[in-house]
Structure formats: structure tokens, C-alpha cells
Amino acid sequence: MIEALKKNPKFHRRPGPVVLVIMDGVGFGKYTDGDAFLNAPTPELDHLMKQSPFTKLKAHGKAVGMPSDADMGNSEVGHNAIGCGRVFAQGARLVDEAIESNQIFSGKVWRELVDNVNNRNRTLHFIGLFSDGNVHSNIKHLRAMILRACAEGVKKIRIHTLLDGRDVPESSALEYIEPFEKFLAELNQTDGRDFRIASGGGRMVITMDRYGANWDVVRKGWETHVLGIGDYYPDAKEAIIELRKKTGAIDQDLPPFVVSDDGVNPIGSIMDDDSVVFYNFRGDRALEITAAFEGGDEFDKFDRGRVPNVVYAGMMEYDGDLHVPQKYLVNPPEIDRTMGEYLCACGEPQLAISETQKFGHVTYFFNGNRSGKFNPELEDYIEVPSDIIPFEQRPWMKAAEITDRVVAAIADGKYRMIRLNFANGDMVGHTGIFHAAEVAVSCVDLCVKRIRAAVGKAGGIMVVSADHGNSDDMLEHDKTGNLVTDPATGNPARKTCHSLNPVPCIIFDPANQGEYRRELKSDMGISSLAATCIELLGYLPPPDYDPSVLDFSKNNR
């Protein structure tokens, strides 16, 4: 048990709640072209940024625990940082360090994976997002594991590729597939090795569902990777080329494919006694496929057909409370003493709410990769079910429904702290459809206006921020800032990944009469939001939390 926080003597607690609004994927772009946040009508946010205390926060790179400032932020690490008030080394950095130190290869799980296939003359399979986006995975980790397995005598490897086009350029799959096929071919030249890409498909079509939004995505992945059922192609390159011609889809939306030499038999279905590594380090889109492998006879989400008896491991432990998966290669960050836990220790009733696509972010990730609640008597979690439809076709998503529930909760007066996530800027930003992203951001703006009115009426405080950028950077620019042209269309190349841009931090607090300066601190990261909310609730933040954006100096006015 942690101790309750001490009261903040410099702050008069407001009668209403503190409401933390996380506008997922909304930041400040560097370029006018491609910035949906800048170009969309957002009168409420524009007004708030002019009339309320406002600053910009870092939401990428080292500010959220990534290896370097060239690494974009993401919703997982962003909500970790916001919820725990400190910066922890995250998945990408932890795996980098484990590989550099050889710690990953000296552990018992790696030993079991390799010994299993060597002793039984079986196949080692790797499944994961096939890019260097460094959000869910990085193929340099895959390459390192293949080289190590090769050195340890593994003769047969099959790779099941989940095509990205979301954390990297939208049609860049062949830029990863072709060099990797060459890399595998070079390894295959000696010692009777047989290393090949066996299956694949777009990450939004197979395998990488999250929060139980659409288990049919996982079913398709199971059939593709495990059973080898699907459309056959002689290799991954031809599959991607042909599927692009057939569907016109970008990488993340390409249908599944299976590699077959004879058009009848798959080269890489997963069989009894094989070893399988799911090499994504991020947990949200890894839990469901893991459940399909580890769920046993109790698994009921879809008919798996044949269920092979394999040694299965994840790159990391994806859920520290449920201990999923049972075997993993790298220890996850140990995140403790989150804001939610401290507020429970103080007896503060809390509400967390979002739609399915981001529900785990305001609960699981916000709580330091912890399932469940710290105190069920003080915490309520509301999930608004997401529509199963392309987000560009309904860019308003469930923002209005979330807002309805939040406005009612504010008026009810039950909660002292409310946190919510609007998924629109991120999920629609990932589609690359600029007009849809403009609609998405405008929708969020309307919802913020409604929440601001409810907060003002209740005598509360609203904090508006984001976990990372996305909708603010939807067109590719070269190093000189010029637009990049898509050779296939002649139009500006779309960008579907997160940005490296800062995000807003707005404090709407009509009752502030100089307790803290109007000018908020600058050059800070989103981890400062935890201490900020704690101070606005009338407490002193833990000493090791990153400082808040508020300045309670004596010369307040």
C-alpha cells in the first residue's frame, strides 16, 4: 500500500472535478500542408489556447522512454507517461539493450525455444509487425534473433509478416521485404538452412486486433499463419504486388497471403512441436493472438480448428497482472505508483472512459500496464463499443457518446477525477484520408466545448492534452521540407504514422485568481500531466514525479 498524498497548501480545491481530456493523435505540425489539426475548424480549442493557460509538451523520443528523439511516440508509452508521472525505458529501448547485452539469448526462454526445434528437428516461427517503425516492433530485433538462431544451429525458420504502412509510409512493405528476402537467401547458402517468409497480410486485417474489438481479425491471422489457409503465392513480393493491383489497398489493409511452392501446400504452417515467437514488444495488439495460442480448451473466441502443441513466447510480458504470455524474452518496464493508485490512496473517486479502440489506454496503460482496478469501490471504467467500420467512413467515431457520459458524470458530482480519450485524431489519422481527419478533429473540438461548459458549470477544471501527434502530419515531406510525390499517383505522398510533434496542454480553470501563474512551464514532456492533475486536485505530487506545468511562485499575479 502506498501512502496518501499531502495537501497542497498553495491551492484552494475546486468544488468540481478535474477532467483530463486526452485528444489522441493531435499535435502541432511543422508544415501547413498535411496538418489536419491546423486546417480543420477548431474554434473551441483556438479560443482555449488564447484565453487559458497554455503550453506545448513533448510526446516523442526520450521524453516518453523511447531510445532516441528520432523515435515517434505512441499511445502505449504516451499513456504510461501520463498515468505514472515519470519516464520509464520502454519496449523498444529495453529490447535493444537486451540484444546488445546478449541477455535475451542467455535467458531460459530463448534456450527452450531453440533447444525444442534443434532436438526435435522442427521449425522456429516468428510472427510480428514487419517494419522498423519502433512502435510495436522493429525488424532489426527479428534479424538479430535469426542470426543468433542460425549460430545456434537452427535449420528451419519461417517468418509470418504483418505488413505495416501505419508506423511507416503507407506503401513501403517491399522496402522491408526485398532486403530481408536477400538476407535470408544469403543465410540459406550454407549448412542446409531453410529460412523463408511463409505468410503475411495487413496489420489491420489479420492478427493485430486489440481490446476484443474484432476477433475475426485474429481468426484470419490464425488461419493464415498457423493453418496455412488462404490465397497462395510463390513468395511475399509477388503477393504484395498482386494484392495491391487487385485491391488498391495500402499496406495495413492488404488481404492475407500464404506462400506455397506448388500452389497446393503452404511452406510454413505451424505444426506440433514447433517453436513460435511473437516478436512485437508492445502489448495491446499482442494479447489476442497470444490468447489463441495459450487459451487451451477454454478458448472460445473463434474455432481454431487444429491447435498445434508448440513452445510459444512473446517478446515481452504483455500483461503483468495476468502474466501473459506464459513465456517471454525480455522483462517489461516495472511501472509502479501511478497517479490512479495515489488518488485511490487519497480516497478520490475516479472515472476512466473511452471507446474500445483506446479503452485499454486510459485503463491498462494509464495504470502502468496493469489490468484491473486499484480500488473497485473508488474507480469506474466505461468502455463505449467502437464501430467495426473503416474509420475514415465514420470519423466522428464514438466521441459524442463518450462526451454524453462525461457530461452526465460531471453533473452527477460523484467523481473527483475523470480521464477520457478521444480516439479520433489517431485512428482516422492513420487512414491517411486528410478530409476525414479534419472532420475527426473538428468533432473532438465540438466535444471539448461541451465538456468545458459542463466543467465550468460544476466549478471544476479541465486539462486538455494528447498522448502523441498524428493528424497534424499527414503528408510526407523531405529533409528540406518539400512535399514528397507518390510516383504511383503523382499526388503528395500520404503519411499514416505518428508524428514527432509536440502536443497541447491547456488548463481551463475559471476559478484561478493567481494561485499559479498564467504562464505555464515550457520544454516539458507529457509525463508532467500527472503532477499537474494532482496539484489541481489539491495535493502535492510525489517528489520523484516529473514536475507539473504549474508555477506556484510567490509573485503569482
For position 554, what pLDDT does the model report?
62
- 278 and 415 in one domain? no
CATH assignment of the domain containing 81: 3.40.720.10
Question: What residues contact residue 464 under an 8 Å CB cut-off, 6+ apart?
Answer: 21, 23, 45, 48, 448, 504, 505, 506, 508
Which of 330, 355, 380 is the last residue in one of the domains?
330
- 303 and 278 in one domain? yes
- 443 and 339 in one domain? yes
- DSSP class per residue in 340-401: HHHHHHTT--EEEEEEHHHHHIIIIITTTS--S-S-TTTEEEEEEPPPSS-GGGSTTTTHHH
Residue 265 CB coordination number (10 Å)? 11
- 204 and 112 in one domain? yes
**Do 418 and 409 contact (CB within 8 A), yes or no?**
yes
The total number of residues written for the chain in this structure: 557
Cα–Cα distance for residue pair 535/529, rounded to 1 Å? 10
- 63 and 129 in one domain? no
436 grid coordinates: 476525414
Tell me the Cα Rg of the chain: 24
Percent of the chain scoring above 90 in pLDDT: 90
Is 319 domain-assigned?
yes
Cα–Cα distance for residue pair 56/381, rounded to 1 Å? 29
Give per-residue pLDDT as tens, 60-83.
999 999 888 988 889 999 999 999
- 101 and 76 in one domain? no
For position 321, what pLDDT does the model report?
65
Res. 381: pLDDT tops 50:
yes
For position 353, what pLDDT does the model report?
98
- 504 and 387 in one domain? yes
Maximum CA extent, the chain: 79
Which of 301, 330, 359 is the last residue in one of the domains?
330
- 200 and 249 in one domain? yes
Burial (0-12, 13-18, 19+ Cβ within 10 Å), 280: buried
Cα–Cα distance for residue pair 459/510, rounded to 1 Å? 8
Res. 304: pLDDT tops 70:
yes
Q: Residue-wise over 78-101: b if at least 16 C-beta within 10 A, else e?
A: bbbbbbbbbbbebbbbbbbebbee
Residue 282 Cα distances to 94, 139, 233, 279, 334, angstroms: 11, 14, 30, 9, 14
Cα–Cα distance for residue pair 450/456, rounded to 1 Å? 10
Q: Dump strand ranges (E) for 433-478.
A: 461-465
- 190 and 168 in one domain? yes
Average pLDDT over the chain reads 95
Range name among 85-99, 214-228, 402-416, 437-451 with the lowest pLDDT average? 85-99
Question: What residues contact residue 517 under an 8 Å CB cut-off, 6+ apart?
Answer: 53, 550, 551, 552, 553, 556
User: Can the peptide bond before residue 502 be classed as cis, meaning omega within 30 degrees of 0?
Assistant: no
Q: Residues 308-329: what's their mean pLDDT? A: 91
Cα–Cα distance for residue pair 439/40, rounded to 1 Å? 7
Burial (0-12, 13-18, 19+ Cβ within 10 Å), 519: exposed
Closest CA to 62 of 79, 81, 75, 76: 81
- 192 and 101 in one domain? yes
Number of H helices, E strands in the chain: 17, 16
Q: Report the number of distinct structural domains present in the chain.
A: 2
Cα–Cα distance for residue pair 112/107, rounded to 1 Å? 9
- 71 and 99 in one domain? no
In the sheet where 275-278 sits, what is the strand order?
232-233, 257-259, 194-202, 156-163, 124-129, 275-278, 311-316, 328-330
Which comes out higher in pLDDT, residue 331 or 538?
538
Distance from the Cα of residue 451 to its chain's centroid: 25
Q: Residues 150-163: what's their mean pLDDT? A: 98
CATH assignment of the domain containing 174: 3.40.1450.10
For residue 330, the cross-strand partners are 316
Res. 30: pLDDT tops 90:
yes
Q: Residues 413-435: what's their mean pLDDT? A: 97
Is 5 domain-assigned?
no
Give per-residue pLDDT as tens, 457-500.
999 999 999 999 999 999 999 888 999 998 888 999 999 889 99
Just list the catalytic residues: 75
Is 545 domain-assigned?
no
Q: Residues 406-435: what's their mean pLDDT? A: 97
Give per-residue pLDDT as tens, 86-126.
999 888 999 999 999 999 999 999 999 999 999 999 999 99
- 302 and 394 in one domain? no
Is 554 domain-assigned?
no
Phi/psi of residue 345, nearest 5 degrees = -65, -25
Give per-residue pLDDT as tens, 165-204.
999 999 999 999 999 999 999 999 988 999 999 999 999 9
**Do 317 and 280 contact (CB within 8 A), yes or no?**
no
**Do 37 and 26 contact (CB within 8 A), yes or no?**
yes
Is 215 domain-assigned?
yes
**How would you classify the pairing of strands 194-202 and 257-259?**
antiparallel
Handedness of CA 222, 244, 133, 337 (dihedral sign): negative
Location of C-alpha cell 529490447: 95
402 grid coordinates: 463518450
**Do 224 and 201 contact (CB within 8 A), yes or no?**
yes
Burial (0-12, 13-18, 19+ Cβ within 10 Å), 391: buried
For position 71, what pLDDT does the model report?
87
The residue range of the domain holding 405 is 18-86+335-536
For position 486, what pLDDT does the model report?
86
**How would you classify the pairing of strands 461-465 and 503-508?**
antiparallel
Percent of the chain scoring above 70 in pLDDT: 99
Res. 557: pLDDT tops 70:
no
Give per-residue pLDDT as tens, 160-173.
999 999 999 999 99
**Do 259 and 297 contact (CB within 8 A), yes or no?**
no
Range name among 106-120, 306-320, 412-426, 434-448 with the lowest pLDDT average? 306-320
Is 459 domain-assigned?
yes
Q: Residues 31-40: what's their mean pLDDT? A: 97
Give per-residue pLDDT as tens, 206-255.
999 988 889 999 999 999 999 999 999 999 999 999 999 999 999 999 99
Q: pTM of this prediction?
A: 0.82
Residue 37 Cα distances to 73, 116, 256, 355, 496, angstroms: 18, 52, 34, 21, 15
Which of 286, 313, 330 is the last residue in one of the domains?
330
Residue 162 CB coordination number (10 Å)? 30
Enter the DSSP assignment of 494.
Answer: B
